[in-house]
Amino acid sequence: MSDAAPFNESDRPIVAFFDVDNTLIRGASVYYVGREAFRRGIISWRDIALFAWHQFRFLAVGENRAHLATAKDRALGLVGGHTETDLIALAEEIYDKYLAPKLWPETVELAREHLLKGHEVWLITATPQLVAQVIADRLGLTGAIGTRVQALDGVFTGALDGHVIHGAEKATVAENFASELGADLAECWAYSDSSNDIPLLSLVGNRVVVNPDAKMLAHAQAKNWTVLPLRRSSIRDARKEVKKEARAVRRTR
């Protein structure tokens, strides 16, 4: 006879997935990676000018595939030839100097509300995994799922290890991840600003559109999804909804 404890619904995990760029922080995180890389002489003035242009476009009109592809290729070029230890140190400095001041405190409070309910809070983002993990660690979140770069003998090659965690790929990764955890997607949550994350938000039972771009706003209104402007009153209402409606989970790990 098995000694395993009987399954208890309260033990089944609930995951809250949070996008990073313009959802948790203002702007594109890869831009801040570029700024620090320029300061250290890793990239040129032309590179940082292009990073700055993409940041401006991102803040003005939101991300698109062409901008993402260019930013991705440049970000991958930054890490090539560097060790994981070096890049973790770089990511820590980027967080302290650039990312922490750009955090949306309202979204951070929402993430912490989920933690108080016993939920797992995972960042899911096209941002490089090393940077995303530093953000998650500093905020006390469960973890991060970011874009991974191939490494050989502890040195990054500058090639992708898998796919960019973006668009439909982000939804596929989230679905597989929730399945591995044994989470019911109908009870899970997702937060994002970008229309590129419509597949992710469509996957879960509780979707919240944060600070949306125009296309996301139109889609959310058509689907009657919760739209959350980054205002204190809106965040208070959202936190009350999580506190009242979300099932609490007894933490097992």
Structure tokens at 44: 């040129």
Q: Look at residue 50 and tell me whether its pLDDT is greater than 70.
A: no
Rounded to the nearest 10°, the torsion over CA 248, 169, 132, 183 is: 20
Does residue 195 lie within any of the structural domains?
yes
Q: Specify if 250 maps to a domain.
A: no
In a domain, residue 20? The reply is yes
Predicted pLDDT of residue 185: 97
Place of tokens 């997935």: 17
Residue 77: helix, strand or coil by DSSP? helix
pLDDT in tens, 135-180: 999 999 999 998 887 767 766 666 666 777 888 999 999 999 999 9
The tokens for 111 are 């993430």
Q: Which of 3, 11, 21, 161 is catalytic?
A: 21
Q: Does pLDDT of 87 surpass 60?
A: yes
Name the active-site residue from 3, 11, 19, 197. Answer: 19
Task: Report CA-CA distances (Å) from 13 to 154, 177, 225, 227, 245.
Answer: 33, 12, 23, 25, 15
Which is more confident, 57 or 248?
248
Residue 251 within a domain: no
- pTM, 2 dp: 0.78
CB neighbour list of residue 188: distance below 8 Å, 6 or more residues apart: 14, 15, 16, 17, 178, 203, 204, 205, 206
Give me the CATH number covering residue 39: 3.40.50.1000
Establish whether 19 is a catalytic residue. yes
Q: Could you say which DSSP state residue 43 is in?
A: S
Torsion, CA 105, CA 60, CA 198, CA 227, rounded to 10: 50
Q: Is residue 225 part of a domain?
A: yes
Do the domain assignments include residue 143?
yes
The DSSP annotation for 174-229 comes to HHHHHHHHT--GGG-EEEES-GGGHHHHHHSSEEEEES--HHHHHHHHHHT-EEE-
| pLDDT of 103 above 50 | yes
Domain span at residue 58?
11-245
| pLDDT value of residue 1 | 37
Query: Which pLDDT band holds residue 5 (cuts at 50, 70, 90)?
Result: very low
Total Cβ atoms within 10 A of residue 184 = 17
Residue 2 domain-assigned (yes or no) = no
In a domain, 6, yes or no: no
What's the structural domain count of the chain?
1
The answer to whether residue 96 is catalytic is no
